[in-house]
Chain A
Amino acid sequence: MIKKKKVNKRKGNNLTIHFMPYSEISKEDTIGRIKKIMGIILDNKIIILQGKLRPEEEVRLIENSMTLIGNIAGFQGIEIAGISGDNENRGLFDNIRRNIARILIGEQDAITIIGPASVVKEITRDPKKIELMLQKK
């Protein structure tokens, strides 16, 4: 019989936010990035990531979360939202410069918030702001 793992519970009203600079994941492959993120999430911490994941990494993260629901007690999935300067109207030159920078140093001019759904009730995003609502204890 498989012994079910448990998500670490929040102690009292403590809330831990883990700031993850892009350099922490820049050299990892998709599996490494997801492993790192999930490790922090299962510790019931909220991640503020400098930069953003690639679409295929986001979808793998969702897939991974779905596999864990029901197998790890108390884990209900994740909440995730990202914000970047993508929607800003830039000139052609600015866009070219930005794309070259992306290729060289990765997508760093974005912020992604990822949290366990047992802690984060909802993350709402409007074009230029993110609101984070926590679960009631």
Chain B
Amino acid sequence: MIKIIRNFAQRIFSGIFRKKGEIKLGFYGSPNAGKTSLANKICQDWLGEDLGAVSNMPHETRKIQVKEKVVIEKNGKKIAFKLIDTPGIATKVDFEDFMKFGLSKKEAQTRAKEATQGIIESIKWLDDVDAVIVLIDSTLNPYSQVNITIIGNLVARNIPVLIVANKIDLKKSDIKKVQGAFQEYNVVGVSAKSGENMEEFYEELFRLVKKKR
């Protein structure tokens, strides 16, 4: 009986604090989908500073990067977010791929090791986010198993998910293909680099977190 009362009280109190606290918003996706670019764009829009470095070389982000107290305002409403930029999830990491970008064998091996650890860290954080933005490179085939696995895991954990088709400024971008692949989800197209369609993104983001609050 005491246990039931304690659990009930815990749930009530955690509910109150969650409403007042920050929403932990995770950025997930394959390497080079533009997770850090979008997180940077949001941080620039609301804080005037970047969150992390970006590069054309895959696995640039190899550690979780967090930016707290990012307050976004939309239609007179303010929501505070804790942005969690995660390393890109891949099913394979070959150090020789990094050597194509000019790294020495030793540097490439170190980067590969860090990349694998980053992927493990990203997976662990799936249990500690309130809502997730899944970034998909709209110039590539969206039916990649990594995208399907990430989204499947979020649904299984009952975590609200917004799919963002990035790089819509590029000629090869095909947002309809992304929408076709994930018909049951909200898909918003943006260019994190040029800032195209960010207003619609923020609207969808507010709609997403409403499900959690």
Question: Which A residues fall within an 8 A CB radius of B?
Answer: 54-56, 58-59, 62-63, 65-67, 69-70, 76-82, 87, 117, 123-127
Q: Which residue of B lies closest to A53 (CB)?
A: B149
Contacts of B149 in A (CB 8 A): 55, 58-59, 62
Contact of A70 among B92, B113, B143 (CB under 8 A): B113
Is A55 a contact partner of B153 (Cβ separation < 8 A)? yes
> What is the size category of the interface that chain B forms with chain A?
20 to 34
A-B contact pairs, 7 of them (CB 8 A): A62-B123, A63-B120, A69-B112, A82-B145, A125-B141, A126-B143, A127-B180
Query: Which residue of the partner chain, among A54, A67, A117, A125, contacts B91 with CB atoms under 8 Å?
Result: A117
Q: Kindly list chain A residues whose C-beta atoms are within 8 Å of the C-beta of B119.
A: 62-63, 66
Looking at chain A's contact residues, is the secondary structure mostly helix, strand, loop, or mixed?
Answer: mixed
B29 nearest CB across to chain A (Å) = 14
- Residues of chain B in range 134-190 having any CB-CB distance to chain A below 8 Å: 141, 143-145, 148-149, 152-153, 155-156, 180-181, 183
Known: A56-B153, A63-B123. A70 touches B116 (CB 8 A): yes
Given contacts A59-B123, A59-B126, A63-B123, contact A69 B152 (CB under 8 A): no
How far is A65 from B90 in the complex, measured between Cα atoms in Å? Answer: 10
Which B85-124 residues sit within 8 Å CB-CB of chain A?
89-94, 109, 112-113, 116-117, 119-120, 123
